[in-house]
Structure 1
Amino acid sequence: MALNLRESVFEILRKHREPPLPPRQITEKILEFHPEACAAKLARSDSLNTQSALLQQITAEIRASRPRLRLRLQKNYRQIKTLETRPRKFYYSEASATEEITRTESTPKTATRNTLALKKHSEAQLYLPLGKYLRAEFKLRSMRIDERRSSNSKGPKGNRWLFPDIVALEDLTDSWDEEILACASQYADQRTRLWSFEVKCLLNRANSRECFFQALSNSSWANLGYLVAAEIEDSDTLKGLRLLCAAHGIGLMLLDTENPAESQILIPARERAAIDWDIANRLAEENKDFLAYIKNIRHFYQTGDLRRSDWQATGDE
């Protein structure tokens, strides 16, 4: 009995729809449910001598077959989808790209740990792990900008592409000698970088362009701007985002919500040399959180003090 890899992968994912599975776990299930076909594959091979070697071989074949699965050469395989994580993960879904966004973003804030393991979140649940990652990896001090605290003087949708979800300050003087710091202060040289983050639960072909340009618009005032996602559905989406990021200088970050330290900057942002204070002024006029952010920056420049209570990105919403 020959092992039909594509049929086997499809069968495994259809029966075990959640959570998404990496290639090795799919292989383990294939070995469990198709022992005779796997034994025949091992017997026919001149290079495979052990069960462990067979597991590694099938895992490699699944990874190599990913583009063919994604291209859906046969109608029956349209439900097989991927997540651009490390390692990539496969899952079965009959939902359209738009329905995937709705389903991913509709998880209640009281979701159980098991539900969270499926990487389905509200955006608010992403702020805390993002803040932890930024602090640990880049020593950034971050804040949440709540658009609900805006004056909405431009109308109900006037601020939709104005405010980022998270803003942050990077202290460039953290390791400077006191004399260097004092000298730089007298010359009014740059002592910080200001960062901006637009956060999304899921990026796919249905929403990636709109989300990207929202991030571009919302970070136009900052030194560095990032689009952050907990999930990126497939390589086509990632390819399109790479082109947009290269053209406009926005960075792309993949957030690991369960282990923030494993988050990845997929595409580094291109730094702008200066802050656009005109745009920053509009944000400060429209939103109390952003005004507090500016006050915290001023406090740092005047005192050199980064009060911990002033810099927190929380998900308590």
Structure 2
Amino acid sequence: MALSLRQRVVERLQSLPDTQQTARELAQWIFEQFPAECAVKKAGSASYIKTDDDLVQQLVAEISGSRPRWQEMHPQLKTTEGRPRHYYWSELDATAEVAAAEGVALVTSDLPEPSRLREHALYPLLAEYLLTDEQRVYAMRINEKRSSNRAGIGGNEWLHPDLVGLEDLTADWMSDLRDCVRVMGDRRARLWSFEIKLLLNRSNARKSFFQAVSNSSWAHFGYLVAATVEGDGTLKELRMLAAAHGIGVIQLDVQSPTESQILIPARERSDVDWDMCNRLTAENADFAEFLGRVRRFHQTGEMAAREWEANE
């Protein structure tokens, strides 16, 4: 019996609602569940498929290569951006997916039942990624509920980022050099700002991007962060917007935060917009605390790591 790869992939994803699978996970499942069909495929391709590992790798390649054609045949077959790409099945259209995002189940094969995430659960995961050697950014939550709202309903809409961060540029410097730069008044840190979403797709990509533009325009770096970036068209749209406005995009790996990826690097701004910082400070006690930590870093030249712990 010939192996119908498309049929098997569709059946597998349909049986796992709200679950994301990589091409390799799909290929491994097919290899384990359909040994007879896989043996026929292996025997018919003996010239280049010599081992079981070769066969699984071939299935991975065929799934990846067939994806665009399969998605034309099955609009419900969705994929994420980033590497590795994840596949999942959804009967919802793009708008409905965004509306249901808070109910998206992001699971791994280790979990027997879906583990549902809320947006606020992504904040500590992003903070963990930002502390890796690649970034070294200390992050802090900005809770919009601590704002004064003195401007009335809608007055602070799109004003607050979800997280802010401080990057210590002197972390690897000798103490004498740090002291010298502090005396000379040169820059020793960069400030980051983050807007976080569970899901970005063609329905909400532009709106979410301009929300990040609005609430991150004060910082050296502004990023839009998402647990799932769905489809090639979404990332293409975000790249065009990023070229014009400089906001970057991060794909957050909720299972292994340190493996998260910067899909689009942010364009650095040379100066902080202190007028906007003053507005944020006047409106939000968390942001005032953040600037207090920035000030203490510049005064002492040291990062008080305890200050940045448990920012929920």
> 1:201 offset after TM fit, Å?
0.8
Provide the residue aligned with 1:172 in structure 2.
169
Q: Within 5 A, what are the aligned runs for 1:10-89?
A: 10-47=10-47, 48-70=49-71, 72=72, 74=73, 77-89=74-86
Are residue 131 (structure 1) and residue 132 (structure 2) matched? Answer: no
Match of 2:219? 222
1:141–1:312 contact (8 Å) kept in structure 2: no
How far apart, CA to CA, are the structure 2 residues paired with 1:61 and 1:313? 44
Alignment of 1:191-206 (within 5 A): 191-206=188-203
Pair 1:132–1:3, CA change in 2 (3 A): same
Q: Do structure 1's residue 257 and structure 2's residue 258 form an aligned pair?
A: no
**Among residues 303, 307, 312, which one is paired with 1:310 in the alignment?**
307
Q: Per-residue deviation at 1:175?
A: 2.7
Match of residue 143, structure 1, among 140, 144, 155: 140
CA-to-aligned-CA distance 1:202-247 (integer Å, 9 cap, x gap)? 1111111111111111110001111111111112211211221122
Does the residue aligned with 2:222 lie in a helix, a strand or coil?
strand
Equivalents in 1 of 2:97, 2:252: separation in Å? 18
Q: For residues 40 and 222 of structure 1, do their structure 2 counterparts lie closer, same or farther at Cα, with a shift above 3 Å needed? A: same
8 Å contact kept, 1:142–1:313: no
C-alpha spacing 1:207/1:49, structure 2 compared with 1 (3 Å): same
| Distance 1:35-1:186 versus aligned 2 partners, 3 A rule | closer
Matched, 1:280 2:277: yes
Question: C-alpha separation between the residues in 2 aligned to 1:135 and 1:32?
Answer: 39
Distance of 1:63 and 1:311 partners within structure 2: 41
Moved more, 151-160 or 187-196: 151-160
Greater mean alpha carbon deviation, residues 86-95 or residues 203-212: 86-95
How many angstroms apart in 2 are the aligned matches of 1:169 and 1:287?
A: 18
| 1:158-193 per-position Cα deviation (integer Å, ceiling 9, x unaligned) | 222111111111112223333333332233211110
Q: Distance in 1 between matches of 2:50 and 2:301?
A: 64
For the residues of structure 2 that align with 1:186 and 1:214, how far apart are their CA atoms? 38
- How far residue 313 of structure 1 moved from its aligned partner, in angstroms, is 5.8
Q: 1:277 to 1:23 in 2, by over 3 A?
A: same
Change (3 A) 1:38 1:183: closer
Distance 1:139 1:248 in 2: 24
Deviates more, 1:268-277 or 1:167-176: 167-176
Change (3 A) 1:155 1:161: same
Verify the 8 A CA contact 2:18 2:104 in the aligned structure 1. Answer: no
Change (3 A) 1:189 1:49: closer
Q: CA deviation at 1:18?
A: 4.8
Q: Is the CA contact 1:144–1:312 (under 8 Å) kept in the aligned structure 2? A: no
Offset of residue 46 of structure 1: 4.6
Aligned equivalent of 1:299, options 282, 288, 296: 296
Cα distance change of structure 1 residues 306 and 32 upon mapping to structure 2, 3 Å threshold: closer
Residue identity in the other structure for 2:210: F
CA deviation after TM superposition for structure 1 residue 32, in Å = 4.0
Q: Tell me how far apart the structure 2 counterparts of residues 31 and 136 of structure 1 sit (CA, whole Å).
A: 36
Against the structure 1 CA distance between its residues 263 and 289, is the aligned structure 2 distance closer, same or farther, given a 3 Å change threshold?
A: same
Post-superposition Cα deviations, 1:62-88, rounded to whole Å, max 9, x if no partner, equal 011111223x2x3xx121111224221
Query: Secondary structure at the residue paired with 1:154?
Result: coil
State the AA in 2 paired with 1:124. H
> Contact (CA 8 Å) 1:162, 1:218: kept in 2 or not?
yes
SS of corresponding position for 2:21: coil
Match of 1:136, SS state, is coil
How far is 1:107 from its partner?
Answer: 6.4
Contact 2:18 2:90 (C-alpha < 8 Å) held by counterparts: no
Cα distance in 2 for residues equivalent to 1:115 and 1:203: 26
Unpaired runs of 5+ residues, structure 2, are none
SS where residue 100 of structure 2 aligns?
helix
The residue aligned with 1:240 is 237
- Matched residue, 1:99: 96
Q: Secondary structure at the match of 1:291?
A: helix
Deviation at 1:37, TM superposition (A): 3.3
| 3-state SS of paired residue (2:131) | helix
1:175 partner letter: D
Mapped contact 1:216–1:250 kept (Cα < 8 A): yes
Amino acid at match of 2:205: S
Provide the secondary structure at the position in 2 that maps to 1:230. strand
